[in-house]
Amino acid sequence: MSANGVIEVGDANFQSEVLESDKPVIVDFWAAWCGPCRMVSPIVEEIASEYGDKVKVAKLNVDENKETATRYGIMSIPTILLFKNGDIAKQVVGAMPKSALVKELGL
């Protein structure tokens, strides 16, 4: 886990870190060239530090992990998926303020 409480996931560890997690997992699908992704990143880190006891927070680089991004039909980034028990519980596409994102994810 990184210092900010956000873990990096990819094709190799998505199953174990996200789908088999014992608590809900928020996954931020992003890319380095994506401006809105850079706007969302600090918000995702704040959510990890504030809600880390309730949810696991992860980031997945879509350029480096095309298999997982394709499997979940990620067409626009940033896309944030909330997984519960291995299933998608919520999906948020695009950048939004922290308060809206927290509300949308039901945190």
Q: Which of 26, 34, 48, 77 is catalytic?
A: 34
Superfamily of chain region 6-105: Glutaredoxin (3.40.30.10)
DSSP 40-62: HHHHHHHHHHHHTTT-EEEEEET
Q: Is 55 among the residues known to form the active site?
A: no
**Domain edges within the chain:** 6-105
For 3-26, the pLDDT digits (tens) are 589 999 999 999 999 999 999 999
Q: Which of 6, 27, 37, 60 is catalytic?
A: 37
For 47-99, the pLDDT digits (tens) are 999 999 999 999 999 999 999 999 999 999 999 999 999 999 999 999 999 99
Q: Is 34 among the residues known to form the active site?
A: yes
3-state secondary structure of 91: strand
- Model-level pTM greater than 0.75? yes
Distance separating alpha carbons of residues 96 and 92, to the nearest angstrom: 9
